[in-house]
Structure 1
């Protein structure tokens, strides 16, 4: 039996198919679009190649695109009808079980099965990165850290993908709150491979979470050729760049980047970055009607059917931003019907019930000017928004909406509490101090408001 580049046996693959499979894993670890072509080439060479079919299924199911998932279900179903799964080697049978769970919409069981594979085969790069994606999509920070951390000692500097494993680990460390260690590991990964966009992305997150916005801009500026083209993360990396620029108050620069890099997004991931960025501007009174209309148009087909609550939330942002509250309410009604009739075990049903629907309803209430209703919907779920997936940085759009709703609803004590929490974690954020000024104004303390605005200005000039 042949082995893959990491020493694991793979059945049913010709020499050419194995080479394509190895290249596909390399492209996947580098987040490059060529992964699809290599995965397809592997199956063209060996149509019955089990791990080739497993890889193709993960690629289709982990995009969070309903159409891709449908295609993956059909393709993998055809493979299952042609193969005796019981005859496959144990690791490959375990992957088939993980894919089946994912096909059924059970992200949590899939993640657990992949963890079992990793425990027995820590050098299974596909199990690692597929599990890493599942952890991200379910907002499980502890597993983002420990899934890769538990496999790390099986890898070493002599492995060609050691840097990519470190990059995944850096992101897990960051999401679990270990910011200094995450930066250290991420920088080491980039040192091993300067074009490791996931590691660059992890380092960028550490700067965002610690309020080191100027460092983030300088870090990205110094590496533009390494992260700005040729991968699935180009738009997302520009989004991070815009978050730093927003803290600096440079809205013209943000809009120029939006038009050049974000406005023509083609995937749900890219569209949600665009929505989250425009929504931050919307919360601060910077209306962008033409940009919102184009974005709302782009979302319509992407959320025609339910698949991932995190996408739904950002589609509703686009509808509200475009003034299409009727479309937002139609989407909400469709998700209410979905959760009422869905079979048990579908992870997205719980995501939608516990987080997706409350957030979507709050966004519509905010768009209608009913800030008290938005506050009442968001405040009870503010500590579990992670259950709908995404990163801390991405979910901050919801937390900012909650804060703005509290301010506009006149809920001074709630607003004061929320701002105090934010300043305690990121005292270097100009945004946080501007909101402290708004809270002080609400309490009639003009001196404190002026002092907070002064502090915001000092921090902005220091970026």
Structure 2
């Protein structure tokens, strides 16, 4: 029986497979596309490697791709059917249980097991990475922070994976509101590995949440060679760049980024990238900017996937694309299919995520597209403080929060709109969108002086 470089025993894994496993872990932590090939090399060398099979299982679910998850589950069930678990280490048995739960649709059960695993084995990089991504996909900001924070005591600063862990910790800190500490941790991660795209991503989020979009652009421009191509996070980091550019009021720049990086003929068509494209175009849709050709291409891409009820967060972005492309019937069909699935009570984590958050959000997006703004408000208002429970980051979910603001303005719910904008401004006083929305609200309700002051403030922030 071999062991990884931290001394964790690896059943069914020869020396060659162990070398490939260490490479696969490195590729995973740095979001390199070759991670899939590295993982395959582990199993080619040792087909019965427990950790190799578990790694392959996690890769099948981390991308929220329904077909990948189904294929991974089939392979994993076949592997486990001939496995004598009594001869495995406790760590391996916990990994098997976590991967099985996740593949069976029990995301929260998988997260709990991974949490227990990292307490017992804090230097298990695979458990930390899988758990961290799980917390992101379920919108659990505190665990996103504390899962990694609770393990850092066991890692030496000179360990080659200490840097990526700091990058992960930075994102958890940011999502739980510790922006300065998050920036500090992210920059420390990048001091160890400048090409750590997740660490870059964590720092970028801190600038987004503090309205430091000019600093964010400078930061990304200075590190272009480290993030702008060749990683599994390239499109998402370009999305962040586009958000900064949008705050500056540079629509031409936003569309250039969209066409060159977010969605084009060569795009992979994976859910994680399509939802970034939808979330960006939806912000333009809320601003009444017509992008019919881009919406049509994006809606085609979502439709070609033929997704079932796998991840509610993806469903919401598919509905954005259908509404943006004026394919309301298609959006309504998706909602009906999910309603039928929810009624069958399938007993998986996505059931609650869909029933409690996904469906109200999808219905609200459709109502907004049909200019039934009052209904959109009524649907979003009860869930706005629980949106995190169907996944994503604060920055991603802000497209939905802005939908509520815009619906309240258009539905002439002036008191509500003022309260919502006040909340946003107190949290993020530097945000041109917040001030331009305030200007539109005051114009609509007869206070031209307040409208002019808000518009001036929005313009000053955008051009700062």
**Aligned residue number for residue 179 of structure 2:** 179
Q: Is the 8 A contact 1:66 1:302 kept in 2?
A: no
Task: Supply the distance in 1 between the matched residues of 2:186 and 2:425 (Cα, whole angstroms).
Answer: 26
Aligned partner of 2:291 in structure 1 is 288
- Write out per-residue CA displacement over residues 46-104 of structure 1, whole angstroms, 9 at most, x where no aligned residue: 01000000000000011100000011011101101121122211100010000111111
* C-alpha distance in 2 between matches for 1:367 and 1:343: 30
- Dislocated runs of 4+, deviation >3 Å: none
Deviations 1:259-280 (A, max 9, x none): 0001133210000000000000
Question: Conserved in 2, the CA contact under 8 Å of 1:437 and 1:453?
Answer: yes
Whole-Å separation in 2 of the counterparts to 1:155 and 1:87: 28
Which structure 2 residues correspond to residues 305-320 of structure 1 after superposition, within 5 A? 305-320=308-323
Superposition TM-score, scaled by structure 2 size: 0.98
Q: Deviations over 1:88-126 (max 9, x none)?
A: 111000100001111110110100000000000000000
- Cα distance in 2 between the residues matched to 1:303 and 1:194: 38
Q: Give the superposed CA RMSD.
A: 0.8
2:60 counterpart of 1:63 = no
SS of alignment partner, residue 100 of structure 1: helix
1:374-412: CA deviations, max 9, x gaps?
Answer: 011001110001011000000000000000000011100
- Cα offset, 1:303, TM superposition: 4.6
Aligned to 2:374: 372
Q: Which residue is equivalent to 1:82? A: 82
2:352 corresponds to: 350
Secondary structure at 1:232 match in 2: coil
> Which residue in 2 is equivalent to 1:428?
430
Structure 2 residue aligned with 1:142: 142
Give the match for residue 197 of structure 1: 197
Distance 1:86 1:360 in 2: 46
DSSP 3-state at the match of 1:183 = helix
Measure the CA separation in 1 of the matches of 2:346 and 2:262: 36
For the residues of structure 2 that align with 1:254 and 1:83, how far apart are their CA atoms?
52
SS of alignment partner, residue 113 of structure 1: helix
Question: Aligned ranges for residues 30-41 of structure 1 at < 5 Å?
Answer: 30-41=30-41
Residue in 1 aligned with 2:302? 299
Distance 1:323 1:206 in 2: 35
Q: Distance in 2 between matches of 1:103 and 1:321?
A: 33
Structure 1 residue runs without a partner (length 5+):
none
SS at match of 1:393: helix
User: By how many angstroms is 1:304 displaced?
Assistant: 2.6
Distance across 1 between alignment mates of 2:386 and 2:192: 36
3-state SS of the aligned residue for 2:105? coil
Gapped runs of 5+ residues in structure 2? none
Question: Structure 1-normalised TM-score?
Answer: 0.98
Deviations 1:216-275 (A, max 9, x none): 010001111100111110000000000000000000000011000011332100000000
| Equivalent pairs, count | 461
**Does the 8 Å contact 1:303/1:311 carry over to 2?**
no
Structure 1 partner of 2:326: 323
The SS at the match of 1:7 is: coil
